[in-house]
Structure 1
Amino acid sequence: MLESYIEQLQRVETLGELNDQVVALRDTLDVEHVVYHSVNSTGEQYAALTYSPEWVQRYLDEDYTRIDPVVQACYRRFHPIDWKRLDWTNKNVRNFHGEAIDSGIGNQGFSVPIRGPSGQFALFTVSGNASDDKWASYTQEHVRDLLLVSHFVNQKALELERGTDQVQTVSLSPRETDALTMLAMSYNRAQAADSLSISEHTLRVYIESARFKLTAMNTTHAVARALSQGLLII
């Protein structure tokens, strides 16, 4: 199903159509809400989301970016963030969290920070209502899809904004491909090294080499870029 969605996404020609595709993604991913928000190097913003207009306006009026733990964490980190692992103990943050839940955002969330060219920053989020165990199972099962689709959405947004954003094809060695494939399949480094019959040190060399070729900020970013460019087959 995700493959069909990505094919449709690649045919998008306007930001309005991209917004429609982000809304449609809610059903594809089986979540309550999907949000894509981008800020380019000049400060211009674009958002496509499924939150209610009332909550969006409330968020803007109160300038909740100042205290939103999700936004603050994503500005500082590169790895995907599960909302449950953030600090919600501050009184103002608790009040904000209560308002968000009352507005139907959901008690669970998973956000992917994206750093693009020329200082672009974007955030891709899914949220919903579920127990901690069910949400942990969902994110563990779908993390590769979430990383992949977040970067495809961001790539399309950049393409529409700049006219084109074609990236020169990267060529990874077979061992670099194997190393990233193991990580994309949720193997940890010890498991990946064991599966490839190499040392963890050698695995690290392959990963760092691939990351350099992909101009990725970190390993997670490298996996996402390799997946979005069709360099890995999972």
Structure 2
Amino acid sequence: MSRKLDDALERLASAASFDALEGAVTSLRDTFEVEHVVYHAVRSTGERWGAVTYDPGWVQTYIDENFQAIDPVVLNCFRRFTPADWKTLDWSPRAARTLLAEGIAHGIGNQGLSLPIRGPNGQFAVFTLNDRARDDEWAAFAREAFDDLLLVAHYVNERALALDGTQNAPHQMLSPRETDALTLLAAGRSRAQAAEHLRISENTLRVYIESARFKLGALNTVHAVANAMSRGLICV
């Protein structure tokens, strides 16, 4: 996974157009070995844009039926900052059950994990992985891939912002490694766990954290994480 993930991140970083970004998002499907990967963004202007691997017929149905207005995934991610496993959401309303049934019929799978992303100037996005799997298989996958998903979601959104021309100056302040370090800490990982995930020493991690703290004008690590989240520099 490490090598495949590195290749995927390189492709994301080199995407020079929205078509290239969509191709990079599609390649993540193979990286994580799932059926679908989706990036859906709402720009500060209200315009929507997405890079999806869903069947085009399902995408058109979703748009025509205005399912986003009643989609438990979108509503949950808009209201919260934490990732949403679809199994934990409220699908009891009739409209939500209809949405889910039609989606499964179009091949989106019975499992989903969605990460809300908030960027600068009111930008909002959702990064989702879908698959057909047993509950225990999906739970194991989510635990193993969670840290990688946090980082990938950030990189996809960051590249989309850059291509959209809405990436503002504060977004340029943190280096990729500083961003990675704060993202993992914000997700509740210890310094040892974050260093292990990034394949660096804890001393090197400390350098990145202190550099980020200085750039953000933060008093401590917790303050740095909070500042980074409020500025849309990291997503959790």
Which residue matches 1:6? 9
Unaligned 5+ segments in structure 2 are 194-218
Task: Name the CA distance, whole Å, in 1 between partners of 2:122 and 2:95.
Answer: 30
Which residue matches 2:212? none
Q: How does 1:51-200 map to 2 (within 5 A)?
A: 51-162=54-165, 165=168, 166-169=171-174, 180=185, 183-184=188-189
Deviations 1:114-144 (A, max 9, x none): 0000000011000001111110110011011
| Identical-pair percentage | 43
Which residue matches 1:29? 32
1:210 matched to 2:224: yes
Task: Name the CA distance, whole Å, in 1 between partners of 2:55 and 2:17.
Answer: 22
Q: TM-score, normalised by structure 1?
A: 0.77
What amino acid does structure 2 have at the position aligned with 1:12?
A
Deviations 1:44-98 (A, max 9, x none): 2221000001001111111111211001101100111100000111122112211
Task: Name the CA distance, whole Å, in 1 between partners of 2:30 and 2:90.
Answer: 29
Task: Name the CA distance, whole Å, in 1 between partners of 2:104 and 2:191.
Answer: 31
Deviation at 1:211, TM superposition (A): 1.5
Unaligned 5+ segments in structure 1 are 189-204, 226-234
What amino acid does structure 2 have at the position aligned with 1:71?
V
Task: Name the CA distance, whole Å, in 2 between partners of 1:187 and 1:23.
Answer: 32
Task: Name the CA distance, whole Å, in 1 between partners of 2:23 and 2:81.
Answer: 27
Task: Name the CA distance, whole Å, in 2 between partners of 1:168 and 1:87.
Answer: 39
RMSD: 3.0
Task: Name the CA distance, whole Å, in 2 between partners of 1:3 and 1:104.
Answer: 28
Contact 1:39 1:46 in 2 (8 A): yes
What amino acid does structure 2 have at the position aligned with 1:78?
F
Cα gap change, 1:156/1:142 in structure 2, threshold over 3 Å: closer, same or farther?
same
Contact 2:34 2:129 in 1 (8 A): yes
Cα gap change, 1:222/1:90 in structure 2, threshold over 3 Å: closer, same or farther?
same
Contact 1:81 1:110 in 2 (8 A): yes
Q: TM-score, normalised by structure 2?
A: 0.77
Q: What secondary structure, in the 3-state scheme, does the structure 2 residue paired with 1:105 have? A: coil
Contact 1:78 1:217 in 2 (8 A): no
Cα gap change, 1:61/1:182 in structure 2, threshold over 3 Å: closer, same or farther?
closer
Match of 2:42 among 20, 39, 46: 39
Task: Name the CA distance, whole Å, in 1 between partners of 2:160 and 2:224.
Answer: 25
